[in-house]
Structure 1
């Protein structure tokens, strides 16, 4: 919370005026987040300065150096919308200046740097959140509620086919940093489906014990990084999971299926369908004495209530946490989980083997550095390379 409980507004600075930064600023200027005042922005490009002069109030201060914004007394909190590699380093600088932080996804590129960020956050006294906006979707909130309450029983299997993140070659060609190891450090796993990787573990409430993945790099596209992935996961309780994604398929599919001991839930086409067993599978199996048979099952669509505030919802929750100590929907420290899944999938492919989820983070970073060294993107970015 703010040191002065009488303060009813948080002065926010935005670092990075790319598509995401401008998008967040849009709803801020429309006063769609209560308790937020945009006081400063930072970006090194001349084009960003010109955009700011044309679109922002005259009293909004423009910085070309993000660290000057972070140190400025004009702000209480920072929204970081810069390239992936820079997220942890900028966040740590904010923590050192006692500034609240909301970072865009992903939390970083590799877990070693994210862990350092989380450790720095834990030593500070600020509110740290991540822009996992899909956690505000009432569809996934209802799924999590059903699983947490025990309605589905023990999780036995998950299967997510998420292939509707289509990206054309022209999209990749729109920036020299796009889809490069040096510029983004990954492809579909960190750029697009990081949302689903987060929801995968958040809704079911557990991370895999180990996984085996097959990533394809530049399949059907002229890019360096992965754009098609199939992964198989195993969990401590014996459950299994499949995760399939690509950016080169049209039309795409978004189908999340979760099977438990009390039935099955499917999310697809904006609907949540619950096939609920009257008697759990273990109980039926123990008592049934016939040859063929299965538990009685009722299938119905679960009503989904509430709005989907998307990015604005996460920003409002962050501001409420600062001003009123509201619990965070997407704590920044949890950003490491989705990146851990992505890193494990890439490492599994590179080493053609199973990867435990407690893999050597330094080893992964060394493997990634080899690919950065041969990347087509050579411009220096904020990650020490």
Structure 2
């Protein structure tokens, strides 16, 4: 194989963006050969913008059975990611899914089992992992430059969304359609990066406000406290109701602290480990000498195209995946624990109680009587509203 034939399932907002760069030939070794959507309007968009040779389907099984594709890129609503991925593997196809991996870990764990039994490549669209800033931050932590982590704090509130955004789709901001709010729609990237860089917490205590700033039934404001195995603690604050918002990640360790904000990485580096200083210092008031260092960031983010290119290279060349699909469960585990903690007004352990989470989610789906005024909106050629 010298070219990967890709079929996109779900040609809405994100799916159309993926289609655009594939149509332009911006991913080496890839070719868009098929598109699937249940909406006639979206298929019409695909017909007008995909060019000749791209097959159109209104059923994902028909696309997978067609013989027109070697891989599928799944960009459907959240609940459909795992079952469609499983079907892809069962059809012998390589699979790339949009974030999040799913809505609940019990479902995603089953997807991972099928993926691991397959010899196909499985990726997830964690495009933030292509950002050289986060790659450098992970390198500093993994190399021990910061020492043992003491505290992590991520304030990620620059996700402002208006009511009209939520009204743009009937599935948005509902338990049945989306499975959650800011944690499931906006924050999967940050939750993934948080655990990718700092590791998984062992338990969570979260406070979620449901429909605090919008006429929706899911969470739009969250403050969560976590504890790690080594005794470190963390805080995660997020919202779609604040403007202007903040995106600041601060990680404190024995050797100082590192702050990521405004596309910059700053290291307040201690000349001597705080623990070593504490053991030897006898002068009462005092603290270790500290140097402020602006960490150089080399390269540029390649975003969605970069993840797709990496996925194609893994198929054609055996390249290592930057965002393996099976890792999608990790950030989801944290968000499931946050929801479970808020629903039960108690601590939630990680691994999360999957059966309890599923049962409580089903209760919310069944009891939902939420109806909203859905606005029919048309996407432009770029796949945006």
What TM-score do you get using the length of structure 1 for normalisation? 0.95
Choose the corresponding residue for 1:292, options 271, 285, 294.
Answer: 285
Aligned equivalents of 2:283, 2:295: Cα separation in 1: 32
Choose the corresponding residue for 1:72, options 41, 66, 70.
Answer: 66
Alignment partner, residue 377 of structure 2: none
Q: Residues 152 and 262 of structure 1 are in contact (CA less than 8 Å); yes or no, is this contact kept in structure 2?
A: yes
Offset of 1:377 from its aligned partner?
A: 6.6
Alignment partner, residue 44 of structure 1: 38
Query: CA 1:103–1:377 in 2, change beyond 3 Å: closer, same or farther?
Result: farther
Residues 65-112 of structure 1: CA deviation (Å, up to 9, x unaligned): 101111221110000000100000000001111100000000000000
Q: Residues 154 and 235 of structure 2 are in contact (CA less than 8 Å); yes or no, is this contact kept in structure 1?
A: yes
1:202-217 equivalences in 2 (<5 Å)? 202-204=196-198, 206-217=199-210
1:240-319 equivalences in 2 (<5 Å)? 240-319=233-312
Alignment partner, residue 325 of structure 1: 318
Runs of 4+ in structure 1 over 6 Å off? none
Alignment partner, residue 121 of structure 2: 127
Offset of 1:375 from its aligned partner?
A: 2.5
Residues 101-125 of structure 1: CA deviation (Å, up to 9, x unaligned): 0000000000000000000001111
Aligned Cα root-mean-square deviation (Å): 0.9
Q: Residues 36 and 58 of structure 2 are in contact (CA less than 8 Å); yes or no, is this contact kept in structure 1?
A: yes
Residues 261-320 of structure 1: CA deviation (Å, up to 9, x unaligned): 111000001100000011001111111111111001100211101011000000000000
Aligned equivalents of 2:195, 2:43: Cα separation in 1: 39
Name the SS of the counterpart of 2:260 in structure 1: strand
Name the SS of the counterpart of 1:241 in structure 2: strand
Aligned equivalents of 1:12, 1:376: Cα separation in 2: 39
Name the SS of the counterpart of 2:293 in structure 1: strand
The answer to whether structure 1 residue 19 and structure 2 residue 10 are counterparts is no
Alignment partner, residue 144 of structure 1: 138
Q: Residues 181 and 377 of structure 1 are in contact (CA less than 8 Å); yes or no, is this contact kept in structure 2?
A: no
Q: Residues 183 and 377 of structure 1 are in contact (CA less than 8 Å); yes or no, is this contact kept in structure 2?
A: no
Offset of 1:359 from its aligned partner?
A: 2.5
Offset of 1:329 from its aligned partner?
A: 0.4
Q: Residues 176 and 377 of structure 1 are in contact (CA less than 8 Å); yes or no, is this contact kept in structure 2?
A: no
Q: Residues 217 and 370 of structure 2 are in contact (CA less than 8 Å); yes or no, is this contact kept in structure 1?
A: no
The answer to whether structure 1 residue 334 and structure 2 residue 327 are counterparts is yes
Aligned equivalents of 2:74, 2:352: Cα separation in 1: 28
Q: Residues 333 and 352 of structure 2 are in contact (CA less than 8 Å); yes or no, is this contact kept in structure 1?
A: no
Alignment partner, residue 22 of structure 2: 28
Aligned equivalents of 1:237, 1:227: Cα separation in 2: 31
Q: Residues 157 and 237 of structure 2 are in contact (CA less than 8 Å); yes or no, is this contact kept in structure 1?
A: yes
Residues 324-374 of structure 1: CA deviation (Å, up to 9, x unaligned): 010000000000011111110010011000011122201111100011112
Aligned equivalents of 2:293, 2:284: Cα separation in 1: 28
Aligned equivalents of 1:130, 1:10: Cα separation in 2: 17
The answer to whether structure 1 residue 189 and structure 2 residue 219 are counterparts is no
The answer to whether structure 1 residue 231 and structure 2 residue 227 are counterparts is no
What TM-score do you get using the length of structure 2 for normalisation? 0.95
Name the SS of the counterpart of 2:135 in structure 1: helix
Q: Residues 182 and 376 of structure 1 are in contact (CA less than 8 Å); yes or no, is this contact kept in structure 2?
A: no
5+ residue gaps, structure 1, are 1-6, 379-385
Residues 38-67 of structure 1: CA deviation (Å, up to 9, x unaligned): 110111111012112211122111011101
Aligned equivalents of 2:125, 2:368: Cα separation in 1: 28
The answer to whether structure 1 residue 164 and structure 2 residue 155 are counterparts is no
Alignment partner, residue 89 of structure 2: 95
Offset of 1:186 from its aligned partner?
A: 0.3
Aligned equivalents of 1:309, 1:359: Cα separation in 2: 33
Name the SS of the counterpart of 2:173 in structure 1: coil
5+ residue gaps, structure 2, are 372-385
Aligned equivalents of 2:301, 2:51: Cα separation in 1: 28
